[in-house]
Amino acid sequence: MANTVIGSTIIIDGEISGDEDLIILGTVKGQISLRENIVVERDGVVVEANVETATITVHGSVTGDIHATDRAELRADCRVVGDIHAPRILIADGASFKGNVDMDG
């Protein structure tokens, strides 16, 4: 539990920045810039957000551009609308995605 958890009833409207893992079960609007990992859980929603991170794993929903320096994973049942820039992109069966993919980094 050392990392940061945004609980399911929490709504953050603004900017999140930092150097540690972030688990999102709630709703975040705005900018997220981390140098570590982001996990958007099943009920987690990220809307109108630009996400900059090392790795992102999406089980929930993301609307906005994703810039990952390492990896972006779209798991089953996730919904992502927006562009993804990442050297490694994994899209699981059942994931829903709309947007551009750029793997050049």
Partner 1 sequence: MAIPRTTTNPEETTQETIVGPAIAIRGRIDGEEDLRVEGRIEGSISLTETLYVEPSGVVIAEVEARDVVVSGVIIGDVTAVNSVTLNKGAKLIGNIRAPRLIIADGASFRGDVTMDGDAPPPIRERTRATSTVSRAAIGNRSIASAGPSRARATVSGAYETRRASTGATASTGTSTPRTSATATAAPTPARAATVREPARAVREPSEPAPRREPVRDLAPPARPPVAGRPEDDDVTLVIKHSALRKGEIPPDSGDDDGTGTRRAKKSARIPARGRHKAGRR
**Measured from the CB atom, is 26 or 82 closer to partner 1?**
26
Nearer to partner 1 among residue 1 and residue 93 (C-beta): 1
Q: Which of residues 8 and 50 has its CB atom nearest to partner 1 in the complex?
A: 8
Closest to 65 (Cα-Cα) out of 103, 92, 31, 27: 31
In whole angstroms, how close is the CB of 34 to partner 1 at the nearest point? Answer: 8
**CA 78, CA 19: separation in Å to the nearest integer?**
25
Distance in angstroms (rounded) separating the CA atoms of residues 58 and 37: 11
The residues that touch partner 1, with contacts defined as CB under 8 A, are: 1-22, 25-26, 30
Q: Residue 38 CB, nearest distance to partner 1 (Å)?
A: 11
Both tokens assigned to 94: 């059942």
Dihedral pair phi/psi, residue 103, rounded to 5°: -100, 5
Within 10 A of 63 (CB to CB), how many other CB atoms are there?
Answer: 16
The nearest distance, CB 31 to partner 1, in angstroms, is 9
Cβ proximity to partner 1, 16 vs 66, nearer residue: 16
User: What is the nearest approach in angstroms of partner 1 to the Cβ of residue 21?
Assistant: 8
